[in-house]
Amino acid sequence: MCLGIPGQVVEFLDEHEHLARADVAGVKRVINVGLLEDEALQLGDWVLIHVGFAMSKIDEAEASRALEGLQLMGRAFDDEMAALQASPVAEP
């Protein structure tokens, strides 16, 4: 739950609802980007995602490092990815 998973913003969906689609380790997910309103997110930007919400903007190098580190975690990361994939989170 506390794992921050890096994802790349690939599509903005609903500006009013602050929804965007992110590519998270190859899985496309709807995420809420409202907490990064002040960051002026652009397509292609990388973010750290916690429980479906983008919490901080990061650069691509940090994203790939973070993902590598997470993959080494084994089961904890697999569980988190499985939860993320199973989540119906706010598909508009």
Binding residues for other proteins (CB under 8 A):
1-4, 32, 34-38, 48, 50-53, 55-56, 58-59, 62, 65-66, 68-69, 72-76, 79, 83-84, 86-90
Q: Cβ 54 to other proteins, closest distance in Å?
A: 10
Q: How is residue 10 written in tokens?
A: 């690939």
Distance CA 81, CA 25 (A): 9
**Closer Cβ to other proteins, 10 or 89, answer by number:** 89
Is residue 1 within 8 Å of 53, Cβ to Cβ?
Answer: no
**Closer Cβ to other proteins, 28 or 34, answer by number:** 34
Provide the pairing of β-strand 46-50 with 27-32: unpaired
